[in-house]
């Protein structure tokens, strides 16, 4: 409560949560929370990953849109 | 109370700069032409002239290409109340002392890359990038732009699809005009759309 812990609560649609819990169970995760955390970490890598920045920059430079 | 302070804050930043953005070859020049036709003032130096890839001109402002490197960006204030083309990659480098209304062009990424590759060839540039990898990279980049537009209080963004604009210029002109305050000539905006320039179309499978 009030940010003292290491976890926060996120609200999701009830039906979606039911589906998540089902898949988490089938996939062998200890809890639905563990499954959600795993998915979010995987997805976040896409946005935080900057390994393609050099490729984009090279292309845009070649096209004459950045200096 | 919040609304009052927001109005006060917005008033200090003056009129918004209308930014036309997107990946290169996603219809940004077409949108600039539409705004120009519709009666909006354009911030361009016309240094990059029309060519095979953009027969009707680029509507660019050369100095914008330095946004990543330059620290003094005060010249952008000249763009208040005008339209300025800034590619999606450089949106993150826009300074906080302006408000921005962003018309963001979206186009099928395989079409964007096909068109970019053609343009690179015309420019005599060597390009060893892998198309599939570039689609992935652009997808992530576009998601980052969406996140950025939500995070920045001075950003308002409207996404406009290139194919839908070409197919129904009237609907696109209307949506853009409403977003920008409703003062533009939608008829003239429509006329600025040239279907013949939609050349790198995705082949239906």
Q: Per residue in B109-124, pLDDT tens? A: 999 999 999 999 999 9
Interface test mutation site (partner A, options B52, B88, B125, max chain A beta carbons within 10 A):
B125
What pTM was computed for the model?
A: 0.80
Tell me whether A52 touches chain B (CB under 8 Å): yes
Question: Bigger pLDDT: B47 or B20?
Answer: B20
Q: Decide if A62 and B127 are in contact by the 8 Å CB cutoff.
A: yes
Place of tokens 């050349």: B199
Using CA atoms, how far residue B110 sits from A49, B26, B103, B116, B138, in Å, is: 22, 11, 21, 10, 10
pLDDT tens-digit map of B51-60:
787 877 789 9
Q: How far apart are CA A33 and CA B102, in angstroms?
A: 37
Q: How far apart are CA B67 and CA B91, in angstroms?
A: 9
Please name the residue ranges forming H helices in B13-57: 28-37
Strand order in the sheet with B155-161: B83-85, B17-22, B100-106, B155-161
Q: Decide if B89 and A67 are in contact by the 8 Å CB cutoff.
A: no
Supply the pLDDT for residue B201.
74
Asked if residue B168 lies in contact with residue B110, where contact means CB atoms within 8 angstroms, the answer is: no
Q: How far apart are CA B64 and CA B62, in angstroms?
A: 5
Is the ipTM higher than 0.85? The answer is: no
Radius of gyration of chain A measured on its C-alpha atoms: 19
Lookup: tokens for B62? 């050369």
Q: How far apart are CA B79 and CA B82, in angstroms?
A: 5
Lookup: tokens for B140? 């992530």
pLDDT tens-digit map of B74-120:
999 999 999 999 999 999 999 999 999 999 999 999 999 999 999 99
Supply the pLDDT for residue B127.
87
| Chain centroid, CA B92 distance in Å | 14
Residues of B with CB under 8 A from a CB of A: 24-25, 48, 65-66, 68-69, 87, 89-90, 116, 119-120, 123, 125-127, 129, 133-134, 136-138, 140-141, 143-144, 147
Supply the pLDDT for residue B97.
94
Report percent pLDDT > 90 for chain B: 73
Supply the pLDDT for residue B204.
57
pLDDT tens-digit map of A8-56:
899 999 999 999 999 999 998 889 999 999 999 888 877 666 667 888 9
Query: Taking 50 as the threshold, does the pLDDT of residue B164 lie above it?
Result: yes
Query: Taking 50 as the threshold, does the pLDDT of residue A2 lie above it?
Result: no
Domains and CATH numbers, chain B: 14-64+74-192 (3.40.50.300)
């Amino acid at each position: 409560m009030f940010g003292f812990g290491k976890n926060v609560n996120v609200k999701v649609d009830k039906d979606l949560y039911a589906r998540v819990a089902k898949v988490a169970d089938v996939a062998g995760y200890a809890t639905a929370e563990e499954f959600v955390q795993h998915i979010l970490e995987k997805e976040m890598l896409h946005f935080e990953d900057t390994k393609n920045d050099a490729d984009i920059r090279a292309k845009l430079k070649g096209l004459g849109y950045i200096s | 109370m919040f609304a009052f302070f927001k109005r006060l804050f917005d008033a200090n930043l003056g009129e918004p700069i209308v930014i036309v953005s997107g990946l290169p070859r996603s219809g940004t020049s077409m949108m600039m032409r539409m705004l120009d036709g519709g009666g909006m003032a354009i911030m361009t130096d016309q240094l990059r002239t029309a060519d095979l890839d953009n027969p009707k001109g680029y509507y660019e402002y050369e100095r914008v290409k330095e946004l990543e490197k330059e620290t003094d960006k005060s010249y952008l204030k000249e763009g208040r109340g005008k339209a300025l083309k800034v590619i999606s990659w450089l949106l993150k480098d826009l300074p906080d002392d302006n408000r921005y209304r962003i018309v963001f062009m979206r186009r099928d990424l395989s079409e964007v890359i096909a068109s970019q590759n053609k343009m690179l060839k015309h420019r005599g540039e060597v390009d060893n990038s892998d198309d599939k990898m570039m689609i992935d990279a652009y997808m992530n980049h576009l998601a980052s732009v969406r996140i950025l537009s939500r995070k920045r209080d001075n950003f308002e963004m409207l996404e406009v699809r290139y194919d839908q604009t070409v197919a129904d210029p009237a609907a696109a002109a209307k949506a853009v005009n409403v977003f920008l305050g409703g003062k533009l000539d939608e008829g003239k905006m429509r006329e600025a759309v040239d279907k013949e320039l939609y050349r790198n179309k995705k082949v239906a499978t």
